[in-house]
Amino acid sequence: MTANERECGARPGRGTLVIIGGHEAKKGNRDILRQVARLSGGDRLVIATVASHTREGYFESYQEGFSGMDVGELTELYVDERDEATDPKTLERLEGASGVFFSGGDQLRITSLIAQTPLEERIREIYDEGGVIAGTSAGASVMCETMMVTGRSEETYRVGELQMAPGLAFIRGVIIDQHFAERGRMGRLLGAVAQNPRVLGIGIDEDTAIVVRGDSFDVIGSGGVYVADGSAITHSNVAEARTGDTLSLHGVTLHVLSAGDRFDLQHRAPGRPSEEEETSGTKEKVAKST
């Protein structure tokens, strides 16, 4: 299978995705922001705060978060109307950039304002040229082909209670949820997987991220990453049950991953990076050279 035929994994290209479950540390160790800085390689890093209904504070918090790191100029990208995403002046903000970081808010703002515009095209180019595309919270959900929009937390999924929409499709064959353990979102993730077990469910805790290259990812940060694989499901009631009925779903395979774990999206199999990679730092070199 060539990269172009890939069913599950990052969009073909030379870039890296950093998909974060929200509330990444902006003080102290800052493993996640440090990884984004490293992957952007010292060139301009664009903080896309477009998911937010108000502009205030997001950009400044990332200026603080990235302070003292070997990162190039930080530039805010904010649009409030779709025509701004086609404005050459907006595109200028991405000149020379090697990374784009989508902050949190409403994933539908990202897709409805920038999808299918020259701005989105330019972001894809940055990725294709080997840059880093990062996203946290809403910025994480939006990475998928089909993204979660709304669904109840802290409840077992009830038939009909989840809204999904087409996302930016930087990663294929998965559906991502964020603030995962913190907001008790196992129910809605399983609800999504039940509807089509082709997609692998990935739930990412706060201050935790998956770093996706090609068809595998590594986990970084302090929390857990849950992978719900529906390949072996033997029974599901999502099609026959009435709206509001509680989910019945038999035979999900569940993995809990934490920092240092790797996951092979193509073979749906967890593992750990080889010792050689861990000790020689090859992982970083690969990340920067791809």
84 is catalytic: no
Decide if residue 57 touches a copy of itself (CB under 8 A): no
For residues 190 and 182, give the distance between their C-alpha atoms in angstroms, rounded to a whole number: 16
155 is catalytic: yes
For residues 224 and 59, give the distance between their C-alpha atoms in angstroms, rounded to a whole number: 26
Matching residue, tokens 């994480």: 140
Decide if residue 7 touches a copy of itself (CB under 8 A): no
Give the nearest distance from C-beta 195 to a copy of itself in angstroms: 13
CB neighbours of residue 267 within 10 Å: 11
Site string for a copy of itself, 149-188 (x = CB under 8 A): ----xxxxx----------------------xxxxxxxx-
Give the nearest distance from C-beta 290 to a copy of itself in angstroms: 25
Q: Determine the angle formed by the axes of helices 282-289 and 31-40, rounding to 10 degrees.
A: 50
Decide if residue 262 touches a copy of itself (CB under 8 A): no
Nearer CB in complex with a copy of itself: 122/177: 177
Q: Which of 163, 246, 280, 282 binds a copy of itself (CB under 8 A)?
A: 246
Residue 104 region, left (φ>0) first, then alpha (ψ -120 to 50), else beta? beta
Rg (CA), the chain: 18
Q: Which of 163, 254, 280, 282 binds a copy of itself (CB under 8 A)?
A: 254
SS3 assignment, position 134: strand
Stretch that binds a copy of itself, among 24-32, 97-105, 114-122, 252-260 (CB under 8 A): 252-260
Give the nearest distance from C-beta 263 to a copy of itself in angstroms: 9
Nearer CB in complex with a copy of itself: 114/228: 228
- The residues near 265 (Cβ < 8 Å, ≥ 6 apart) are 8, 9, 173, 174, 200, 212, 215, 216, 217
Task: Please report how many Cα atoms fall inside a 13 Å half-sphere around the Cα of residue 133, on the Cβ side.
Answer: 29
52 is catalytic: no
Say which of 120, 125, 155, 161 is annotated catalytic.
Answer: 155
Hey, which residues are catalytic here? 137, 155, 179
Binding site for a copy of itself (CB under 8 A): 153-157, 180-187, 190, 205, 222-224, 226, 228, 232, 234-235, 237, 245-261, 270, 272
